[in-house]
Amino acid sequence: MADWVQATPHLQTRRPQDDILIIRLVNEPYNFLDRQCFDELNGIIAPLDIKTTRAVILTGGVQDIFVTHYSVDEIIDFGLSVPSWMPAPPFLLRAALRLESLIASLGLRYLTRKTLFAGIADLNLYKEVCNLFRSKPQVFVAAINGLCFGGGCEFALACDYRILIDTDRPVMGQVESLIGLIPGGGGTQFFSRTLGTAKALELCLEGKTLTSSEALELGLVNRVSRAEDLLDTAVGVAKHLARRSPYAIQAIKDSIHVGGSMTLSEGLLREQGWFGGAALVAETHEAMKKYTRMIKEEQPQSLEDFDHYLQPLANGSFFDFSPGSARSAASTKASKTD
């Protein structure tokens, strides 16, 4: 595997293969997330092109720490920046978040950061970077190599797939209530959608920490791995999922993350729109034609027959969904014909 490259002050990168990017966060001693880390992450992830990067793995570069949590010092600074006489009920803060988001869309966030609302900009940036994980056509895999509390837990939950080191020690959870805060990066929303209201309330109110087996049982992680095998396991998952259609990946993520928060009829309509769009993608069209030809030629009858011919579809070797591959194949075929 290639050597680590110091891409930014806090982020190291390397590529186990050309289309898979590993990003390692190194913010010693405790690997806290902070404004600078999210600025750096945004700078790397936002411009990623699906033609060159099909999967991203996020991991921690400090021993036994993925992300301990978000920097409490920055949260304290936000509290100190707002005068004690100024009313700040949640509905006003929500309005400020919306306004700052609009200002940022105009490229003027640097102005907000010079005001007492700099903390508002940081909250929005956190959400924006995590929204990139949920909306881009790449697969995002969290290789959780240790402590993953508070903002670190929310950071991991924003990824599509999570692999956690196997340990009997408490390693994951939303612990904000222990110091009078609440999750601010999506923890209440992810927990309630993943675990249901009762369990989400229990974990967030208690600030309960979970071992790897408990996190796996609850469905907060997809699998556990020995610490020494963690990165290899994550690379294997990334290679496997990166063979799927980028359009299908983006459509599935949107249908679940966005459509899952809508009414059933609206969610179904959103899914149907993506389905129709997928059927029009050139690579998907060619894959469907190849599939129907295979069915007609092989005429599988038994479960054993189906298991045999489904294997290449499952492992991704059936068709190359790289963007533009259908056009390239058509050009090659035309050249041979000529």
pLDDT digits (tens, 9 = 90+) for 191-238: 999 999 999 999 999 999 999 999 999 999 999 999 999 999 999 999
Report if residue 104 sits inside a domain: no
User: Do 209 and 186 reside in the same domain of the chain?
Assistant: yes
What ranges in 176-222 are assigned the alpha helix state H?
A: 187-195, 197-206, 212-218
User: Do 220 and 293 reside in the same domain of the chain?
Assistant: no
In degrees and rounded to multiples of 5, residue 224 shows phi and psi of -115, 155
User: Do 189 and 142 reside in the same domain of the chain?
Assistant: yes
User: Do 200 and 281 reside in the same domain of the chain?
Assistant: no
Identify which of 69, 47, 254 has the alpha carbon closest to the alpha carbon of residue 154: 69
Longest dimension (CA), the chain: 80
User: Do 213 and 147 reside in the same domain of the chain?
Assistant: yes
Report if residue 92 sits inside a domain: no
- The range of the structural domain enclosing residue 257 comes to 246-337
* pLDDT given at position 332: 57
Select from 241, 275, 306 the last residue of a domain. 241
* pLDDT given at position 12: 98
**Alpha carbons 225 and 215: distance in angstroms, whole number:** 13
Structure tokens that stand for 95 in this block: 């309005």
User: Do 203 and 271 reside in the same domain of the chain?
Assistant: no
Sheet holding 161-165, edge to edge: 5-6, 11-17, 20-25, 55-60, 139-144, 161-165, 223-225
Select from 181, 210, 241 the last residue of a domain. 241
pLDDT digit string (tens) for the chain, length 338 residues:
679 999 999 999 999 999 999 999 999 999 999 999 999 999 999 999 999 999 999 999 999 999 999 999 999 999 888 888 888 899 999 999 999 999 999 999 999 999 988 999 999 999 999 999 999 999 999 999 999 999 999 999 999 999 999 999 999 999 999 999 999 999 999 999 999 999 999 999 999 999 999 999 999 999 999 999 999 999 999 999 999 999 999 999 999 999 999 999 999 999 999 999 999 999 999 999 999 998 888 888 888 888 887 888 888 888 999 988 887 666 555 555 55
Domain count, the chain: 2
User: Do 135 and 235 reside in the same domain of the chain?
Assistant: yes
Select from 199, 220, 241 the last residue of a domain. 241
Identify the DSSP state of 3.
P
Report if residue 78 sits inside a domain: no
* pLDDT given at position 328: 66
